[in-house]
Amino acid sequence: MPRARRRLLRPCLAALSLSLLLSTAQAETPLFSADGYRISLYRSPTPNQLQGATILDTPALQTLLNQTPRPVLIDVYRRQWLQGRFIEDQPHANLPGSHWLANTGDGDLTPDWQAYFARNLDTFTDGDHQQPLVFYCRSDCWLSWNAVKRATAMGYKSVYWYRDGLDAWQAANLPVAPAQPEPFP
């Protein structure tokens, strides 16, 4: 084999080997916990249904927002948490009137984060498990899927999933508001 071909073949074989190694490692990474929560690859296509929740598109959400009782909007977009505080690495906006429960859509919550989620839901609903709750994040985001699943497991009965979230809201040229996470703990 000519020397030039061997020089080209080595990098190609190395790239192929690395590609196979990475795909094998990714295939071994579990997507769901034993409890059924998504625990990895949060930004990937989401299902078209979710047991215990009604899925909303933007027009349906706008209609719901004009009803009584008005639903509680809950944004679960992630925010870096370091040394006991949220780190603002970039500005975040959400739907006006939303409560931002950062990081509560993660698949595995520590007891402190679970308590933060439960305590805030109880506060926002005045303990009324019939109060409509709308969870959202971004499009193709499993964080809001996890939060909906968690809220229904806690006994909330009127739960909605704004599946395409902030991205769909902004695509409809609707207003957003600067956001800060609810204080933790």
**Digit-coded pLDDT (tens) for 66-104:** 999 999 999 999 999 999 999 998 999 999 999 999 999
Read off the pLDDT of each residue in 28-49 and give the average, rounded to a whole number.
94
Cα–Cα distance, 128 to 121 (Å, whole number): 9
Q: Is the pLDDT of residue 15 over 60?
A: no
Q: Are 52 and 147 in contact (CB under 8 A)?
A: no
Check whether 3 has a pLDDT greater than 90: no
Structure tokens at 161: 């999933």
Q: Is the pLDDT of residue 4 over 70?
A: no
Beta-strand runs (E) in the chain: 54-56, 72-75, 81-82, 85-86, 93-94, 99-100, 133-136, 159-162, 177-178
* % of the chain with per-residue pLDDT over 90: 83
pLDDT, position 185:
84
pLDDT value of residue 22: 44
